[in-house]
Structure 1
Amino acid sequence: MTDVLVLGGTGWLSGRIAERWADAGASVTCLARGGRDARYGTTLVVADRNDPDAYDEVARREWDEIVDVSSNPDHVAAAVAALGERTRHWTYISTVSVYAADDVPGADESAELLGAPAPDADEDYGRAKVRAEASVRSSLGFRAAIVRPGLIVGPGDPTDRFGYWVGRFALAGAGDVLVPDTADRGAQVIDVDDLAEFVQAIGHERWTGVVNAVGDPVALDRLFADARVIAGHSGTLAAVDDDWLQQHGVAYWMGPRSLPLWLPAGMPGFWTRSNAAYRLLGGRLRPLGDTLARTLADERDRGLDRERRAGLTRADELELLRRLHG
């Protein structure tokens, strides 16, 4: 039997990875802080990765596969030091945010990575992942796979970004919906279950290397059109330019009072990364409509008008529409 350790394993992506390995017949152990139940077919070891003895229990045995999703480079380095010699293969889940440039369409895994932050600057998400990748590569070499997903989407998404749109179109019904100018804007998403399946598959094969796990680029107006069909939206789209949105306190991409997936102009590289290697390795990309439908069902279960981590409240949106139309 294959022995798999997932560092995490109770969260959104890591939990699905643990489930895929369990479905494949592996003996799966998850190391997490607790507070959430272990996924079906897995065993939970409770430990805090801030503690120096966090890995003591799982370091007593050999592993066929270890998966780590952490964005904390110190946690990653400590895990590699404690467990690197105890496993046949290691998969680290990184991000396409490690790349230095977002203005080059179609860039592949060989693109330049972000450098170290300025001495007086905090380490951002992308640079933290770069440092974590470096720990994995330097210690594990040809026993490691580094997977760089783009925007991970689908049911259960804790960021509320992708689900905002299909949920908002459903909530609005016949009402207007505020959208950004979609000219030369797009998105590149990967369904969480496609990603989990891929991570399990390359771990099983002990594939080594670096791969962008991203979907096909989709124009933002096409994404909105598909989401409207799935949601049954019959209202109109009130499209406004970047300046107007920023002047009215609406943020790019994510977070409170934002329009999710809306990016500043001049970033075509961010949503057109090459996925050729992912496809060559057998990575699946389900139809966008399938992901939208599954996401909408989840949005309805959680409440279309709930408090969200990303997007506008419907009340804020209606006030902005009122100002727009004068």
Structure 2
Amino acid sequence: MKLLVLGGTRFLGYYVVLEALKRGHEVTTFNRGKTDRGVHSRVKELYGDRDGGLHVLQSDEWDAVIDTCGYLPRLVRASARELADRVGQYTFISSISVYKDLSVPRSHEDSDVLELEDESIEDIPNHYGALKARCEQVLDGVMPGRVLTVRPGLIVGPKDPTDRFTYWPVRMSRGGEMLCPGRGDSEVQFIDVRDLAQWTVVMTEAKRTGVYNAAGPGVALTMREFLERGREALGSRAVFTWCDEAFLAEHEVRGWSDLPVWLPSGGQLSEYRGILQADYSKAMKAGLTFRTVEETVLDTVRFHGQRGDGAQWKAGLSAARETELLALWHGRMSGEQTAGGSGEAG
């Protein structure tokens, strides 16, 4: 297969290219050349800008394109129009965030999606889900019947630039007392980037079309189970201290950012809990498989070790802030004369 990858050097795009090469495909990447230029061997690299610099795509034709970096409808429309007569299929990486009501669990592919009232809006941080939903609609309009739309949940693993998962494996590897959110019974979902990349390439090979949620890890998993399995895999002696949501809210500890892979059951962020509770059974029936949580945890710690001590964390509590919060928690527990302020009791 001749495959064009829009992006191809960072995180999911990087692993899509690796998987395609592994499976014997001829790969061309298109990006601005600003990140990890030349990171892949045996790949034809085209450099340009999606915003007015697509002319280099006129040099060839491909069996399929996998778009890992489409965020704005205007630019996705331009890419689709440029490629409509040059590719057989368009695989678009969208997001679970497209769903209109993420306060309820089990959003499925036919659930209502967000609407972008004004397509001139290009504020990605504040309109991410609606922009992705509109991108999907644009593609279906330009290339009807030829689009595979993949809606991933939280993507994790080596090369993750967000630290939204990396924080926990690395924190467990350090050991000591850890601040953990709630009671540990909240559901969590995430998918290893390598599993997502493999399945995306396989689905593109098979010329599959339609919409698929893509989350993991294949079984129901709570926050407590995730951390316990990670701790055991790492051989860590970390001690978990579970702090209730009221305490975390009082001290302005935020889910998803301060304490990643977790969203509170109350408060403003609770309206997004469905991000970690999507229905991805359709993708599993279509062949999506998963490596173990333990493998993802171990490989994530190895990846972090390659970054060096100077890495700037984008998510998670600093050591000083965690120590401060644990002291406040134990002080409260002591004041209330309540047992179980540390260790597994929380």
Q: Tell me if TM exceeds 0.5.
A: yes
**In structure 1, C-alpha distance between the alignment counterparts of 2:77 and 2:254, rounded to whole Å:** 34
Please list, as runs of the form range in 1=range in 2, the aligned pairs for 1:236-247 lying within 5 A after superposition: 236-247=239-250
Name the structure 2 match of 1:210.
Answer: 211
Preserved contact between residue 195 and residue 289 of structure 2 (Cα < 8 Å)? yes
Name the structure 1 match of 2:317.
Answer: 312
Name the structure 2 match of 1:193.
Answer: 194
Which structure 2 residue ranges, 5 or more long, are not aligned?
332-346
CA shift at 1:299, angstroms? 2.3
**In structure 2, C-alpha distance between the alignment counterparts of 1:119 and 1:276, rounded to whole Å:** 32
Preserved contact between residue 231 and residue 238 of structure 2 (Cα < 8 Å)? no
**In structure 1, C-alpha distance between the alignment counterparts of 2:93 and 2:310, rounded to whole Å:** 32
Aligned partner (choices 133, 136, 141) of residue 136 of structure 2 = 133
Preserved contact between residue 167 and residue 300 of structure 1 (Cα < 8 Å)? no
CA RMSD of aligned residues (A): 2.1
Q: Secondary structure at the match of 1:124?
A: helix
**TM-score, with structure 2 as normaliser:** 0.86
Q: Secondary structure at the match of 1:252?
A: coil
Name the structure 1 match of 2:78.
Answer: 78
Which structure 1 residue ranges, 5 or more long, are not aligned?
none
Q: Which amino acid aligns with 1:202?
A: M
- Distance change >3 Å, CA 130–CA 86, structure 1 → 2: same
**TM-score, with structure 1 as normaliser:** 0.91
Q: Secondary structure at the match of 2:259?
A: strand
Q: What are the superposed Cα offsets for residues 69-109 of structure 1, whole Å, 9 maximum, x if unpaired?
A: 22232221110121122111110000111011123333321
Preserved contact between residue 5 and residue 29 of structure 1 (Cα < 8 Å)? yes
**In structure 2, C-alpha distance between the alignment counterparts of 1:37 and 1:118, rounded to whole Å:** 35
- Distance change >3 Å, CA 108–CA 248, structure 1 → 2: same
Q: Which amino acid aligns with 1:64?
A: D
Q: Which amino acid aligns with 1:298?
A: F
Q: How many residues align?
A: 318
Q: Which amino acid aligns with 1:82?
A: E
**In structure 2, C-alpha distance between the alignment counterparts of 1:117 and 1:249, rounded to whole Å:** 33
Name the structure 2 match of 1:105.
Answer: 105
Percent identity between the two aligned chains? 33
Q: Secondary structure at the match of 1:156?
A: coil
**In structure 2, C-alpha distance between the alignment counterparts of 1:321 and 1:184, rounded to whole Å:** 20
CA shift at 1:324, angstroms? 2.1
Aligned partner (choices 159, 164, 167) of residue 164 of structure 1 = 167
The reply on whether 1:227 has 2:226 as its aligned counterpart is: no
**In structure 2, C-alpha distance between the alignment counterparts of 1:261 and 1:144, rounded to whole Å:** 30
**In structure 2, C-alpha distance between the alignment counterparts of 1:80 and 1:307, rounded to whole Å:** 36
Q: Which amino acid aligns with 2:191?
A: I
